[in-house]
Structures are given as structure tokens and as C-alpha cells.
Structure 1
Amino acid sequence: MAAETAGPRIRRAPATAPGPRKETLGGERLLLGLVLAYVLFTTFWPLAELFSAALRPGEDGRTLGLMRDVLASRATGRALWGSLVTSGLAVALSTVLGVGLAFAVSLIRLRSPAALVFLILTPLLIPSQTMALAWIELAGSGSPILGALGLAPAPGSANPLYSTGGIALVMGIEHMPLVFIATRAALRTVPADLIEAARVIGVPRHRIAASVVLPLVAPSILAGALLAFTAAIGNFGVPALLGIPGRVSVLTTLIYQRLNGFGPSAAGQVAVLALIMTVLAAAALALRSLALRRLAVPLPAGRPFEPSRSSPVGEIVLWLVVLVIAVMPLAALVMTALLPAIGVRFGLDTASLAQFAAVLANAAVRRAFANSLLLSAGCALVAVVVAVPFAYLAVRRPGWLVRALDVGVEAPWVVPGTVVALGMILAFLPPLPLIGVSLYGTLAILLIAYLARFLPLVLRPVTAAAQTADPALDEAARIVGAGLARRLACVFLPGVLPAAVAGAMLVVMTALNELTLSALLWSSGHETIGVMVFALQYEGNSTAAAAVAVLSTGLVFALCAAANAGARWLPERILPWRQ
């Protein structure tokens, strides 16, 4: 009897076991379908429209005729040359500054390293248009700082930054943190035993840095420089505020001027310009990947090198350099915002908060702050909602389609923002299928562009956190019958929530003052902070532009302070100034 009753039980078990597994696979396929639809809508479709527009035949029907005509244009050649020259000079400055500061911070025992590193990274946290405006106020004839020192240009003279050299200077300082971060990270991998061995045999300190350490970190320096080149090629805020008045043409400003002057009818021509920028950025990123893969030297694991010697003179020089590149421009911006009008000399009798009161009373400025806060917070929230299930699929159920989507979502982040904005115009200017509504001229197109560009800021830390989690927890929950939605909410989400929050904070800080996308996608009533700063400065109202820029920068610093205060609950190395 025992054998007879045991037999049926063994035969029935396979009939019930596949149930939860089948349900799980169905839920994961649905989840993958939703992620696929999201990426197709926000990323692949706009970029496909862009490339399709660039590859159209010309008016005479020639294959690639439109591309041939644009490439043969003198304006294109001048803008391409301007982009290469300004970006090349900017990268040279970024590399010199970034490497020098990284070596100084890593080799000198500092009394306040965290504060110094934060100031070094400040140009990366401040948007391009604010950086450009700060340097304009610092270097102009009405400079409140250089004027007090007797070093300001003569009254009525052109600002020296309205030139190729001025664009390269500001972009070089702005993108310097990219080289600094790459170099400093590489220096922290150099084993202390290697340095101590060189000291034991009597090698001088400067020779150790030049002959031992520098060759080891050279691939990372090259990678950081190529990343800075990619950022410089796609930079819009600095060339717009410095290059347009100085008649220096680059690809980003040429696209803006063509669309601003001819509207969507010029979409095909500017798509070709955007394709040129994409090729330049892709080439730089491919070289960066090659440098890290082929030139990097594997180092033995060991105790990382720590600075053991202080240098009062070196520390003073280091602080002076940082104050000049990070503090003085912002100080000039604040002092300009305190003036009642352009041309008024700064002093205790002239400084007031009148400009701040005026811009806050301006309905357009208040609307711009509200729009930017709404867009950045909405983008961060949606990015978290998408990144969590996306990371689950990437880590728990990897496949060729998931890997392709994971690579594809990086495209809007690595290509210039102008390219992304143009793809959004081409995709969403016509009425959408089925519903017959155009998103062009609405906040929706800005939100979609932000989602496409800033999703990697959340997805990467969430994926990294998911890779360290124990997969047995998810498997155990599946075995006891927990559905996919419950496992995501109760098992997977708690483990990656700190990383998701950190990524969301980075999205808000980055998107709050965004200009490159907004400059091409904004419309009346849908202004953003970046657009407002650019528009006020373009109209000649420098004091009002400075006031708005100071308010927006203060908001970013407040977010940085909040992130820093909650750093103990966030994943390590998520905040760049705490690495």
C-alpha cells in the first residue's frame, strides 16, 4: 500500500512544478516588452529619424545628395574647423590642469582634501551657460574683481573671451574634472610597494612621479582627455555665449542658428551636422575604449599609495590655482548679480538685492524655475521606475536583447545633446500615430528628451548594486510562489534603493540647469532655467542673467549638500567629490 500511494505522488509532482516558473517567464517577457517599448520610443526612434533625415537624397535625386551639399558648404567647413580647434585647445588645457591637480592632490598630504576636491569638481557641477557667464563677468571691462585690482580691460573694449581662445579656456576648465577624476582613480591603483621600492634605491621624488607613476596612469589620462574631447564637441552653452558674439562658429551653434532662423524646414541640413558631431564623438569614445583595453598595464593588488609628506608651499599654490579657476568666476558672478545695472561700479553703496527681487517678480523666471524643477524631478522619478526592472533583467535574466538595450540606452548620453534634441524634433514634430497629436512645443517633448539622455545616471548605479546582491533571495521567493511584481517590490527593490536614490539625485542636479536640449526644444510658456539665463544674457541684461544663474547655482549646491549629508546611506563612490 505504501508503494502504491507513493507512486502517484511522484507522477503528479512534475505536473505542478512548472506552474510558478511558467508564470515567471510570462511576467519577465511582459517586463522585457515594456522596457523594449520604452527604449524604442525614447531613444531608437528619434535617432533613427535623425539618421534617416541626414541620408536623404538631394533635390536632384542624387544618393546622399543632402549630405553632399551640406558637407560642401563653407559654413559647415568653418563650423567643423571651429569645433576641432576649440575642442582640441580645450582638451589640452583640461589635460594639463586635470593631471597636475590629480598628482598634487594624490602626492601631497593635505589638511582639507575633501573641500579641495569639491572645489576642483565644481566646474563639472555648474552648467555650461553659468560657467560662461561667470567668466564673462570676471574678464570683462566691468569686472568687479579685476577692476578693483586694476587689471580689467579698458572701458568699452570687447571682452577678450569672445574669441576662439576664450571658448577653449572656459571649456578647458569646465571639462578638466573629467581628466582629474580619471587620473586620480588611476593613481589610487598604483601599489605603495612600487613607490617605496623606487625610494629605497634612491630615485628622487620628481623622477618617481615622471618615470614610474606617469607611464602607469597614462592610459587613464588619455581616456579622460578623449572623454573631455567628446564633451567639448557637444558643448553648446559656452560657444553660444562666447562664440556667437565673437563670430566664432562651431557645429552646435550652427545647428542652433539654422533651426532658429529657418525652423523645422532646415531639419535635414542640421541632421547632417548632427551626424558629423556623432561621428566625432563616436571616434573619440572608440579611441578611449581602445586606450583602456590595449594600453592599460595590469598592476599587482596591494596597499594603495597614500601621501606621506606635506608641502606647505605646494598646498598654497594648489589652493591659489583652485581659487582662480573655481571661486573667482563665481564670486564675479555673485558681485554682478548684486549690481543694480550694467556699468555700475561694485561697492558697498551700490550692492543690493534689487536684481534678485526683480527676477523673482518676473513671471517668466518663476515659470522657468517651476518647469525645470518639474522636469528634473519627473525625469528622476520615471528613470527610477524604468531603471529598477531594467537592472533586474540585465542582472537576473541577461540575454542578447537585454544586452543590446543596455548598450542602446547609453547612446543619448554619449552623443552630443544637440543630436538628441534634433532627433526629438524629427520624431515628435509630426502628429503621433493613432492619437494624431504633435508633442513639439510642449513640456512632454522636453521630458522625453531628458528621459532619453539621463536614464544611464540611474541605470548604471542600480545595475552595479544589483550585481552585488545574492541571487538566491530572488530564487527562494520564486520557489515559494512570489510573483514577479512582488519579488521586484519586496526582494529586489530594497537592495538597490540607495543606488536608485543616488542616481535620481544626480539626475535632478544635472537636469535642473540643462541647456543643450532645452535650447532647441523649448517653446513659449515652457522655458527652463538654462534657457532663461541664455536669453537674458543674449538680450544684454547681464545683471538679471547673473541673478538667475546665482539662484540656480545655489539650488544645485543645496542639492549637493543634501546628497553629502545623506552619503552614509548611499553607495560608495556614487558622489564624485567623495570618491
Structure 2
Amino acid sequence: MAGDRGAVRRARDWTRDWGRIWGGAWHRGDGTILAALLAAWVLGVSVWPLARLFLEALAPGADGVPLGLMAEVLEARSTGRAFRNTLAASAGSVVIATVLGTVLAFATGLLRLRGRVAMTFLILSPLLIPSQTMALAWIELSGSNSPVLRPLGLAPPPGTTNPIYSGGGIALLMGIEHMPLVFIALRAALATLPADLVEAARIAGAGRLRILTRIILPLALPSALAGAILAFAAAVGNFGVPALLGIPGRFPMLTTLIYQRLNGFGPSVAGQVAVLALILVALALGALGLRALVLSRLSVPLGRGAALRPLDPGRARLPLEAAIWAVLAVIAILPMLALVATALSPALGVALSASTATTANFHEVLANPTIRRAFANSLLLSALAALVCTLVALPFAWLKVSARAPLIRLLDWLVDGPWVVPGTVVALAMILAFLPPLPLVGSLYGTFAILLLAYLARFLPLVLRPVVAGAEALEPAQDEAARIVGAGPLRRILFVLAPALLPAAMAGALILMMTAVNELTLSALLWSSGNETLGVMVFALQYEGNSTAAAATSVLSLLMVLALALALDAMRRWLPPGTLPWRD
């Protein structure tokens, strides 16, 4: 009995001592416990799955030879073909993205044109439109039954293969999809050009063409190159466009090869596809490293000064505006019109007219319980991801900016990992990490939870970056005053930081929802029966040959994204500058 009382007393003393240590750390205001919790979250959700993937790829072969699995996969003919196709299509898309992005950025950034906000929104619309929806829209636009080209006599002859099912078609669509990356980089560079350089050139007698070629272009070139390299990194990890165009067109790429291997053989080939994923990671990280080198070596510090004002194009305004609207019609408007027309058609091949137009496809989609469940799942996943990422971003920003916790500064680099690497890689990493049973919960593979964890890891930077930027712009004296009067970390976050960062956090949450609600790259590998998402349903309907239902589902999902964008635009006066690229 005495021994039992001694054991109880020792346990009580141990608990009291540790309680003092942890409680003291919390009440001192240094956020030690909070930093430890965030570190455990980031390491468990973002870092460990990717590390597990890399370990799987570096495993020995069946004969025990070190790195034998990697050698086996790299020597396979299918790997070489997919690798070459990935490089070729990605390089072609970069050329298209760079040309389009540069021309549109200079036109809307340097010239005083009417409707610049509407132009900019349409230029950036490929960022809001999911890859699979864009591919489906172009399939309907360029096919022999095109509701737009067939009345004009421009559609391919009936019975011929749609020309978009090719490597060139993949490059074209990925170029259009990633063009906004070049556009944003260039527009940001043009916005920082000091007006006094141009004024000095004008005083010296330089004409507009000479100013453009000798002053503006050289200063903007590093940003254009950086945007082009970023477009390449995005292209190598693109899944939606290669899946809808490359699989039927027999043009395999690394992302679709991973999907087909896992879809055909399941987790038993996880090691082989991990090697393919490692190739994608190497390509993406190599591109991002080259981008950082370009910016560090070629960028010119311009100092401060009045920003360059848009120039008056004079008599050339009307033809320039017409040319820009014509380009936007081809890359943004006509494909969406073809998608809507297909959704309103009673069946493929039936010419759309006032007498044949029908909303039956929308009624069919909304009456389908699987599609309704996909809408509910996508909304729930995106909303939960937005909520949790906001709850993580606020203390993360406080620890980084106000507490200046060294551990958080390290985590700030690691948290971008799932966003930087291709989504297919993140999905595969989640399978490898959460397929083995976990204590108390078992395996998460094939559950709603693994989808949510993948979304949380992938999309956290979308909320974290605007929140951290907002925290860095706040007056530090407010947090210091709260600390002096004895407020702990939680009270300072809830009552000082959170109210000030609410607009930035809401903007990041809405951007996350716009990005995640139609997501396909993660969901294509992680979905299961009962956990379908909108992206998966569009993909499945198109492959079943039910193009009209796929188009109707895509139109409804785009309307949801448009509603979120309009809500975000309505809050623009409360948002930090630069949050809405189509406004800034």
C-alpha cells in the first residue's frame, strides 16, 4: 500500500513539474507550445508524406541492389517516352504562354485602354478555370460538332479526329492556362518602373519605340523570364489537360503515366510511380531554382519614385482594343461559349438553335445523386480546408512576425513544399504516408480524411501568404502593448492580430475555395466511392462519352467559382493591395 501511495505521489509531482514548465512557457508569451504544435502539424501533414515518397523512390530493387528500383523505372521505355513528351509539351506551352503573356501585359500595363479591368479579368480567368474544364471547353470548340465553328464552316470534317487530341493541342492549352503566370510577373514589373526614366528619355528626344526597346524591355526581361520558368514548372505537373487530351490522343506524359499505373495496379506499384514522381519534383525544383537565379542575377534594383503611368495610344487605341478583345475572345470567351452551347444541346451532333436548346442536361445533372454528392463533397472539402488553413495561418503569422520564432522561420520554407511540387506528387505522397494503418484510426486510404489532408497540405500557402504579408504590415506596437499588460499568445492572436488580419484571411480563404472546389489532380488519385469530387465527375462523365452532362456539370461549377470571385471583388476595399490581381 505504501508503495502504491509513493507511486501516486511521484506521478503527481511529475505532472506538476511538467505543468509548470509548459504553463510557464505559455504564459511567458513566447509561444513555445504554440510553435511546437504548429511544427507537429506542418511536419505531419506537409513534410512527412513527401519524405515518405522520396524514401520509397530510393528503395533497393528486387535483387537488393541499392537504388535498383530507380534504375529499373528510369530504364523503362514508357518512362523515356513520357519524359520526352513532358519536356516537349511543356516547352511548347512556355513559348505560347510567354508570347501571349508578354503582349497582353505590355498592352494593358503600358497603354491607357478602355475596359482594362474586364480585360485583365479575362486574361487571368485561366487561373480560375480548372484544367479539365478548359480542356473540355476546347474539345467542344475544336471538334467536328463544334457549336461555334460548325455554323461558320470552320469545323473539322465529320469523322475526323479532333486536332486538339495531340501534343500540339496539349501545349496550346497548357500555354493558355499558364499564360497568367507570365502576365502577372510582367505587370508587377511594369508597375514598379519609375516614371522619371521614361521622362528623361523623352526629354533626350527618344521616341516611344526606342523607349520601349531600350529602357522598358531590358528592365522587364528578368520578370518575363521568371514568369516563363514558373510556367514551365506548372506545365510539367499539369494533369487535367494531359489526362483529357493526352490519354485519348495516345500522348503519355509523366503525370498521366502515374495516374494510369496507379489506376491499373493500385498501391502495389507505389514504389515505381514514386520514382516517376521524383522526376517531376526534380524538373519542378530545377525550374524554380533557375527562376531564383534569374531574379538574383538579372534583376535591377530601381529604387523608389513615381510609378510609370499608362501612355495614351492616341489613334491606335481602337485597333489595339479590337486586337486585344479578339485574342481574348479566342482564348477565353469562345471556348466557354462552346461549353455552354454543348450543355444546352439535347445531344451531341444536334445543331443548337432556339428550338433545340434545352436545360434537360442541367436537370439530369442536378437529379443525379452521385453528382449532387460530388458538389457537396467539393464544397465541404474546400470550406473545411479554408477554415482549417485560416486557423493555422493566424498563429503561424503571429509566431513568424511578432514572436519571431526561429522554428517557424524554418517551417515557413517547408510549408510551401506541397504547393511547389506537382499535385500528382502530393497525392502519391499521401497514399504512401497514410495507406499503412495509423494508431486508433487505421488506414486513411480511400476515405474522406485523406482528401482533406491533401487539400490542407496543398493549399495552405494560399491563405498563409496574404495573412503573413498583412501581419508584416501591421504596427508592432499593438502586440507589444498587449504583451506588456500581460496578455498571453492566444489572447494577442484572437484580440489583436485576428481582427486586423480578417480581410486578408477571408481573401485567402476565398481564393483557396475558388482553387480547391474544382480540383482534379489530387482527387483523381485519392477519391473513392462516396467521396467523389466535381473534378472527378467531369473527368468521368467525359470518359463515359456523356459530353453534354460533363459540360453541364462544368458550367455549374464555373458559376460557383464566379460567385466566389464576385464576393471577393465586393470586399476589395477592405483587402490589402495586390490581393485581387484583376483590380491591381
Q: If the length of structure 2 is used for normalisation, what is the TM-score?
A: 0.94
Counterpart among 299, 310, 314 of residue 307 in structure 1: 310
**Which moved further from structure 2: 105-114 or 223-232?**
105-114
1-structure distance, mates of 2:26, 2:386: 31
| Offset of residue 361 of structure 1 | 0.5
| Offset of residue 20 of structure 1 | 10
Q: Secondary structure at the match of 2:338?
A: helix
Contact 2:382 2:516 in 1 (8 A): yes
2-structure distance, mates of 1:220, 1:24: 46
* Letter paired with 2:544: E
Could you say if the C-alpha distance between residues 75 and 477 of structure 1 is closer, same or farther in structure 2, counting changes exceeding 3 Å?
same
Query: Given the alignment of the two structures, is residue 431 of structure 1 paired with residue 437 of structure 2, yes or no?
Result: yes
Q: Deviations over 1:308-356 (max 9, x none)?
A: 3132111111111111111010010000100011111111111110100
State the match for 2:5 in structure 1: none
Contact 1:20 1:479 in 2 (8 A): no
* Letter paired with 1:574: T
State the match for 2:414 in structure 1: 408
State the match for 1:8 in structure 2: none
State the match for 1:397 in structure 2: 403
1-structure distance, mates of 2:259, 2:545: 19
Instruction: Give the 5 Å matches for 1:358-373.
Output: 358-373=364-379
Q: Secondary structure at the match of 2:302?
A: coil
Instruction: Give the 5 Å matches for 1:130-145.
Output: 130-145=133-148
Contact 1:130 1:549 in 2 (8 A): yes
**Which moved further from structure 2: 518-527 or 289-298?**
289-298
2-structure distance, mates of 1:52, 1:76: 20
1-structure distance, mates of 2:203, 2:405: 52
| Offset of residue 399 of structure 1 | 3.8
State the match for 2:88 in structure 1: 85
Query: Given the alignment of the two structures, is residue 518 of structure 1 paired with residue 518 of structure 2, yes or no?
Result: no
Q: Deviations over 1:52-106 (max 9, x none)?
A: 1100000010000000000000000000001000000000100000000001112
Query: Given the alignment of the two structures, is residue 239 of structure 1 paired with residue 245 of structure 2, yes or no?
Result: no
State the match for 1:497 in structure 2: 502
* Letter paired with 1:539: E
2-structure distance, mates of 1:528, 1:353: 23
Query: Given the alignment of the two structures, is residue 538 of structure 1 paired with residue 543 of structure 2, yes or no?
Result: yes
2-structure distance, mates of 1:442, 1:191: 54
Counterpart among 510, 513, 527 of residue 508 in structure 1: 513
**Which moved further from structure 2: 568-577 or 203-212?**
203-212
State the match for 1:68 in structure 2: 71
Q: Deviations over 1:276-317 (max 9, x none)?
A: 000000000011111111110111321111123132111111
Counterpart among 383, 387, 390 of residue 389 in structure 2: 383
State the match for 1:290 in structure 2: 293
| Offset of residue 576 of structure 1 | 1.9
State the match for 1:175 in structure 2: 178
Query: Given the alignment of the two structures, is residue 208 of structure 1 paired with residue 211 of structure 2, yes or no?
Result: yes
Counterpart among 487, 501, 505 of residue 482 in structure 1: 487
State the match for 2:466 in structure 1: 461
**Which moved further from structure 2: 64-73 or 399-408?**
399-408
Contact 2:69 2:272 in 1 (8 A): yes
Instruction: Give the 5 Å matches for 1:17-166.
Output: 23-25=26-28, 28-166=31-169
Query: Given the alignment of the two structures, is residue 442 of structure 1 paired with residue 447 of structure 2, yes or no?
Result: yes
* Letter paired with 1:450: Y
Contact 1:333 1:546 in 2 (8 A): yes
Q: Secondary structure at the match of 1:366?
A: helix
Contact 2:373 2:532 in 1 (8 A): yes
2-structure distance, mates of 1:161, 1:276: 26
State the match for 1:276 in structure 2: 279
Runs of at least 5 residues in structure 2 that lack an aligned partner in the other structure: 1-20
2-structure distance, mates of 1:272, 1:398: 38
2-structure distance, mates of 1:176, 1:483: 46
| Offset of residue 30 of structure 1 | 0.9
1-structure distance, mates of 2:512, 2:177: 19
State the match for 2:7 in structure 1: none
Contact 1:20 1:478 in 2 (8 A): no
**Which moved further from structure 2: 177-186 or 104-113?**
104-113
Which aligned segments of 4 or more residues in structure 1 are displaced greater than 3 angstroms? 18-27
2-structure distance, mates of 1:302, 1:471: 27
Contact 1:365 1:532 in 2 (8 A): yes
State the match for 1:567 in structure 2: 572
* Letter paired with 2:389: A
1-structure distance, mates of 2:78, 2:428: 19
2-structure distance, mates of 1:313, 1:396: 52
1-structure distance, mates of 2:483, 2:71: 57
Could you say if the C-alpha distance between residues 479 and 200 of structure 1 is closer, same or farther in structure 2, counting changes exceeding 3 Å?
closer
State the match for 2:14 in structure 1: none
1-structure distance, mates of 2:294, 2:279: 23
Q: Deviations over 1:141-165 (max 9, x none)?
A: 0000100111000011110000000
2-structure distance, mates of 1:19, 1:532: 48
Q: Deviations over 1:25-60 (max 9, x none)?
A: 476111011101111111111011100110000001
2-structure distance, mates of 1:306, 1:470: 30
Q: Deviations over 1:178-197 (max 9, x none)?
A: 00000011011111121222
Counterpart among 341, 346, 353 of residue 340 in structure 1: 346
Q: Deviations over 1:222-263 (max 9, x none)?
A: 110011111101100000000001100100000000000000
Could you say if the C-alpha distance between residues 344 and 67 of structure 1 is closer, same or farther in structure 2, counting changes exceeding 3 Å?
same
Cα RMSD over matched residues?
Answer: 1.5
2-structure distance, mates of 1:109, 1:357: 45
State the match for 2:9 in structure 1: none
* Letter paired with 2:498: L
Query: Given the alignment of the two structures, is residue 228 of structure 1 paired with residue 231 of structure 2, yes or no?
Result: yes
Runs of at least 5 residues in structure 1 that lack an aligned partner in the other structure: 1-17
Q: Secondary structure at the match of 2:248?
A: coil
Could you say if the C-alpha distance between residues 225 and 19 of structure 1 is closer, same or farther in structure 2, counting changes exceeding 3 Å?
closer
**Which moved further from structure 2: 56-65 or 475-484?**
475-484
State the match for 2:582 in structure 1: 577
Q: If the length of structure 1 is used for normalisation, what is the TM-score?
A: 0.95
| Offset of residue 509 of structure 1 | 0.5
Q: Secondary structure at the match of 2:63?
A: coil
| Offset of residue 272 of structure 1 | 0.3
Q: Deviations over 1:118-174 (max 9, x none)?
A: 011111110100010011110000000100111000011110000000000000001
* Letter paired with 2:582: W
1-structure distance, mates of 2:295, 2:22: 47
Identity fraction in percent: 63
* Letter paired with 1:500: A
Could you say if the C-alpha distance between residues 62 and 352 of structure 1 is closer, same or farther in structure 2, counting changes exceeding 3 Å?
same
| Offset of residue 22 of structure 1 | 5.4
2-structure distance, mates of 1:573, 1:119: 17
Contact 1:339 1:350 in 2 (8 A): yes
| Offset of residue 398 of structure 1 | 2.3
Could you say if the C-alpha distance between residues 472 and 338 of structure 1 is closer, same or farther in structure 2, counting changes exceeding 3 Å?
same
